[in-house]
Amino acid sequence: MYVKGAKLNRLKKVLCCWNKDVFGNIPDKVKLADELVAQMEVLANRDDVCQEELCGVEAISEVELDMEEEFWRQKSSIWWLKDGDRCSKFFHASVKAKRSRLAVHRIKDVSGVWIDNKEDIEFAALEHFSHLS
């Protein structure tokens, strides 16, 4: 058991370094992108050439904001897994609601017809994925 714990600790360190290299400090990146957009807006008001550059900077800012949103969504999920799993009535009700929300209730087949029967959904999924390979 000690060996698994030691391996997991080493893996955690490697993943933390990878996370910093790939994603960096997300809130700082968002703040920097917002400041850059504000600077480019001032320049764009003076010079029409900067409009294209402003569009590019705004797109980068939007990507950073999306990344931050995803970060907080995942963070809240981790919090729930760590602190919320106490076999309470609320926990089980939340899990049941999430399962219901994530369940596939209907799909469109290849001809565009909606299928809502469970067995037909299974058959359509098997049919679709068997033709992919």
Pairwise pLDDT comparison (133 vs 70), residue with the higher score:
70
Residue-level pLDDT at 48: 63
What pLDDT score was predicted for residue 103? 84
Kindly tell me if the per-residue pLDDT of 53 is higher than 80: no
For the question of whether the overall pTM of this predicted structure is more than 0.85, the answer is no
More confident residue, 15 or 2: 15
74 phi-psi bin (left φ>0, alpha ψ -120 to 50, beta other): alpha
Q: What is the mean pLDDT of the chain?
A: 79
Residue 76 is encoded by which pair of tokens? Answer: 């809240």
- What pLDDT score was predicted for residue 50? 67
